[in-house]
Structure 1
């Protein structure tokens, strides 16, 4: 099952990242460059680095100039994340290109890679919520509240994993078909963001 592979690799990445806990640590991807596992590893590394960027920029004591620098870096990282999702969708489009959709086939509300993107973020939520549920310096009430939230996140991961596997099975069986829309983000494009093109 694809979701099982994804969840295993996402957990591996998060563990690998926290050996260094360094946003700028280079990715050391152990998987073959042509494999789906390789793509999943990069995907979650991108998300894990961005997660920690988001933590840094929320420091109320951060210097405003430094904060703006982090915000721009997060924007750039988010574009990398989007590009990676679209690349993974390209993998699935290629994988299922020989499948003929049934006459009554339907399109899903989101593509496989965007669902996997949510699974990747969920892995990070689970890791960090578990940290809070087990943090010895926190109050018993805090740990209990975080354990309750963790249980919900774990249930959500089970449901999302099942949905992803069912979606891919339906595509393979021709019951659903893929149609991928590029995100066409406008705020990073100097020809589409009026704040940018009006300055020139």
Structure 2
């Protein structure tokens, strides 16, 4: 199943990030895009999510310097754009993979594209990793560990359900029962022609 591979790659990316465990570390993709483009994209996608996860932790520090917070907010904005771009790259991969499928007359469209489901799967991998940390944290109370273990069980069930849904969607697309129709996100707040604040600065 596709999600078996995706979940494995997500674990690799998260575990490799935590070897150094700093948002400023250099990124190196262990998958060559010329040899296995989808693995390359999945690893990069989860690395972006992992760095942003820790950006979000840092910016919530009540003692953070306001200037540092603004700098970090800019990094989060850039990371969000990278995340969206990666989702669109992954969907482009699937569009190309299934371009020759004969779509059935009664085929239907899904509420989200495969890559946006995969985006949620990547975030779930991070939730599972960090909730497991909390459920096994030795300096936490037993009550805290028990609560986190209960939450971890729910996350694992959610990941299994989402994995099944993604694999089913990909199978339906491959057999012509579903078809892909991808819309670009068209984010407006980063565009200096569409964001009125940025547009006014240019004048």
TM-score of the alignment, normalized to the shorter chain, above 0.5: yes
| Runs of 4+ in structure 1 over 2 Å off | none
Paired position in structure 1 for 2:123? 121
Number of paired residues?
A: 200
Paired position in structure 2 for 1:58? 60
Paired position in structure 1 for 2:171? 169
Q: Which of 88, 91, 98 is the matching residue for 1:89? A: 91
SS for the counterpart of 2:101 is: coil
Q: Deviations over 1:71-121 (max 9, x none)?
A: 111001100010000001000000000012100000000000000000000
Deviation at 1:141, TM superposition (A): 1.1
Paired position in structure 2 for 1:17? 17
The two structures have a TM-score, normalised by structure 1, of 0.98
Unaligned runs of 5+ in 1: none
SS for the counterpart of 1:33 is: coil
SS for the counterpart of 1:13 is: helix
The two structures have a TM-score, normalised by structure 2, of 0.97
Unaligned runs of 5+ in 2: none
SS for the counterpart of 1:198 is: helix
Paired position in structure 2 for 1:33? 33
Deviation at 1:26, TM superposition (A): 1.9
Compare 155-164 and 136-145 and name the one that shifted more. 136-145
Deviation at 1:29, TM superposition (A): 1.7
Q: CA RMSD in A?
A: 0.8
Paired position in structure 2 for 1:147? 149
Q: Deviations over 1:9-62 (max 9, x none)?
A: 000111100001021222222222132111111110111011111111110000
Partners of 2:30 and 2:65 lie apart in 1 by 37
SS for the counterpart of 1:190 is: coil
Paired position in structure 1 for 2:194? 192
SS for the counterpart of 2:52 is: helix
SS for the counterpart of 1:127 is: helix
Deviation at 1:196, TM superposition (A): 1.3
Partners of 2:168 and 2:22 lie apart in 1 by 36
